[in-house]
C-alpha cells in the first residue's frame, strides 16, 4: 500500500522571484504539503541564480542535473533547499567508497513466512526512489565505485528503465522521480590531487547528464549575510568587524587548499560554528580553536596560525592565553575558611 505522499502531485505554483530571490517572472510547481522526506527549510539560505535555475529545470522539466564545485560551495544544500521550497521529497545518497551495487539495487534475503524459510527480494535505495516522487541526490558522484556507476548509468536516461538482472525485473521510473548529483571534479579525474578517491568518469556517463552547472563560493559579503542570518549577534558593534575577519580567514584557507598548502578548508558551516562558539564562550580565539583548528592536522597548524595573523593582525591566543584559570589556592583557602 502506498502512502499519501506517494500519490501527491505538484500543483502549487511557486514564484521564482519570491521564493528564490531571482529577478525573473515565472513559476514552478511544487507539492502543496511537506511530507516525511522533504528537507527542512533553511530560512537564511542564499540561492545562487544560475545553480537554482538549473535545479528548477531539473525538477520541472525532468532534466538530470550535475552540480560541480569545490568542497563547501553549497552543492548538496542547494539541491536540498530547492527541494525544501518545492516540498519535493529528497533522498541524499553519499556515493563514497562504502556504497556497493547491492546497497543500490537490493538483494535476496531469507525470511520466515508461516514457519518456512523463503527468499525474498529486499529493495535497494535506487529502485525504492525510482518508483516514487522522489529527488535522489547522488552526492560525491565522482567518488562512486565502478560497479555502482554502472548501475547508475542505466537510470540516467530519462525514459530509461531500471533492469534488475538478478531479479529479472524491469521497472519504469515514476513520472516525478528526479535525479541529481554533486561532484568535486567534472569527472576528468583529479589533476590537482586535492580530491583523493575521485574516479575518472567515462564520457558516456557524463553525456547522460542534461545539465552540468558549476558553483563557486559565495562572495565575502554574501557569506557574512549567511552567518548573520544564523548568528545575529555577529552584527552587533565590534562583532561586525570580527565577522569580516572570520570570513577573510575562511577565504585564506580556501586559497591555501587550492594551492595544496593545507588539506582542510573552512566551509560556510565552519564559520557558522565559529560564530556560535564565539557567542557561547565570548572569545574569538578559543572559538576558532574549537570550531576549526583542533580538527586540522597539527603539522599544518603553523600555516593556519599565519593566516590568522594576517586576518586578525595578532597571533592566536596572544590576548586570550588564559581565558579561564583555576581559582588560586589562596582564594580557595579563603572559601574554605568562609565555610567553616
Ligand atoms: N548559499 C548558501 N547559503 C547559506 N548557506 C550555505 C550556502 N552555501 C553553503 N551553505 C552552508 O555551507 C555548508 C556546506 O554546504 P554544502 O552544501 O554541504 O557544500 P558542498 O555540498 O558543496 O560540499 C552547509 O552548512 C550549508 O548550509
Ligand atoms: Mg556535498
pLDDT of res. 171: 86
Q: What spacing in Å lies between the alpha carbon of 325 and ligand 1's midpoint?
A: 37
pLDDT of res. 146: 84
pLDDT in tens, 177-231: 999 999 986 555 554 555 555 666 667 677 789 999 999 999 999 999 999 999 9
β-bridge partners, 16: none
Q: Is 77 in the pocket of ligand 1 (CB under 6 A)?
A: yes
Report whether 73 contacts 217 (CB < 8 A): yes
Q: What spacing in Å lies between the alpha carbon of 76 and ligand 1's midpoint?
A: 7
pLDDT above 70 covers a percentage of the chain that reads 89
pLDDT of res. 318: 59
As a whole number, mean pLDDT of residues 243-258 equals 95
Q: Is 251 in the pocket of ligand 1 (CB under 6 A)?
A: no
* pLDDT-derived band at 164, boundaries 50, 70, 90: confident
pTM for the model: 0.85
Q: Is 256 in the pocket of ligand 1 (CB under 6 A)?
A: no
pLDDT of res. 324: 83
CA distance 86 to 30: 4
The dihedral through the CA atoms of 128, 143, 140, 175 has a sign that is negative
In the predicted structure, residue 86 carries a pLDDT above the cut 80: yes
pLDDT of res. 336: 64
As a whole number, mean pLDDT of residues 253-272 equals 92
**Range with the lowest mean pLDDT among 104-108, 175-179, 300-304, 320-324?**
320-324
Nearest to 78 by CA among 157, 22, 159: 22
Q: What spacing in Å lies between the alpha carbon of 134 and ligand 2's midpoint?
A: 18
CA distance 106 to 87: 27
CATH superfamily of 4-215: P-loop containing nucleotide triphosphate hydrolases (3.40.50.300)
The backbone torsions φ and ψ at residue 114, rounded to the nearest 5 degrees and listed phi first, read 50, 45
Q: Is 46 in the pocket of ligand 1 (CB under 6 A)?
A: yes
CA distance 50 to 48: 6
Q: What spacing in Å lies between the alpha carbon of 168 and ligand 2's midpoint?
A: 34
As a whole number, mean pLDDT of residues 131-142 equals 94
Closest ligand 1 atom, residue 226 Cα:
4
Average pLDDT, the chain: 89
pLDDT in tens, 42-54: 998 999 999 999 9
In the predicted structure, residue 73 carries a pLDDT above the cut 60: yes
In the predicted structure, residue 169 carries a pLDDT above the cut 60: yes
The dihedral through the CA atoms of 210, 181, 183, 22 has a sign that is positive
Domain positions in the chain are 4-215, 220-312
pLDDT of res. 111: 86
In the predicted structure, residue 145 carries a pLDDT above the cut 90: no
pLDDT of res. 326: 85
Closest ligand 1 atom, residue 77 Cα:
17
The dihedral through the CA atoms of 21, 24, 25, 26 has a sign that is negative
Report whether 30 contacts 88 (CB < 8 A): yes
pLDDT of res. 1: 65
In the predicted structure, residue 315 carries a pLDDT above the cut 80: yes
pLDDT of res. 290: 95
pLDDT of res. 329: 72
Return the higher-pLDDT residue of 145 and 159. Answer: 145
Amino acid at each position: 500500500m502506498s502512502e499519501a505522499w506517494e500519490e501527491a502531485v505538484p500543483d502549487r505554483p511557486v514564484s521564482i522571484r519570491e521564493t528564490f530571490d531571482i529577478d525573473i517572472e515565472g513559476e514552478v510547481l511544487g507539492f502543496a504539503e511537506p511530507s516525511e522526506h522533504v528537507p527542512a527549510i533553511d530560512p537564511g539560505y542564499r540561492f545562487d541564480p544560475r545553480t537554482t535555475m538549473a535545479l528548477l529545470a531539473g525538477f520541472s522539466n525532468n532534466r538530470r542535473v550535475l552540480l560541480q564545485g569545490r568542497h563547501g560551495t553549497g552543492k548538496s544544500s542547494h539541491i536540498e533547499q530547492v527541494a525544501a521550497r518545492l516540498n519535493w521529497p529528497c533522498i541524499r545518497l553519499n556515493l563514497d567508497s562504502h556504497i556497493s551495487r547491492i546497497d543500490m539495487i537490493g538483494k535476496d534475503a531469507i525470511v520466515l513466512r508461516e514457519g518456512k524459510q523463503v527468499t525474498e527480494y529486499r529493495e535497494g535505495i535506487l529502485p525504492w526512489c525510482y518508483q516514487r516522487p522522489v529527488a535522489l541526490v547522488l552526492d560525491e558522484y565522482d567518488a562512486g565505485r565502478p560497479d555502482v556507476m554502472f548501475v547508475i548509468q542505466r537510470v540516467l536516461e530519462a525514459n530509461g528503465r531500471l533492469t534488475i538482472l538478478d531479479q529479472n525485473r524491469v521497472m519504469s521510473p515514476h513520472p516525478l522521480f528526479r535525479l541529481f548529483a554533486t561532484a568535486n571534479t567534472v569527472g576528468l579525474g583529479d589533476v590537482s590531487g586535492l580530491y583523493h578517491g575521485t574516479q575518472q568518469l567515462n564520457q558516456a556517463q557524463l553525456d547522460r547528464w542534461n545539465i552540468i552547472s558549476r558553483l563557486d563560493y559565495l562572495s565575502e559579503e554574501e557569506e557574512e549575510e549567511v552567518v548573520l542570518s544564523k548568528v545575529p549577534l555577529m552584527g552587533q558593534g565590534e562583532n561586525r568587524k570580527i565577522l569580516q575577519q572570520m570570513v577573510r580567514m575562511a577565504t585564506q584557507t580556501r586559497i591555501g587548499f587550492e594551492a595544496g598548502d593545507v588539506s582542510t578548508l573552512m566551509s560556510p558551516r565552519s564559520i557558522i560554528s565559529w560564530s556560535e562558539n564565539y557567542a557561547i564562550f565570548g572569545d574569538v580565539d578559543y572559538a576558532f580553536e574549537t570550531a576549526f583548528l583542533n580538527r586540522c592536522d597539527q603539522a599544518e597548524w603553523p600555516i593556519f596560525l599565519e593566516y590568522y595573523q594576517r586576518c586578525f593582525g595578532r597571533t592566536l591566543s596572544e590576548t586570550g592565553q588564559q581565558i579561564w584559570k583555576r581559582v588560586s589556592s589562596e582564594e580557595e583557602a579563603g572559601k574554605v575558611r568562609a565555610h567553616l
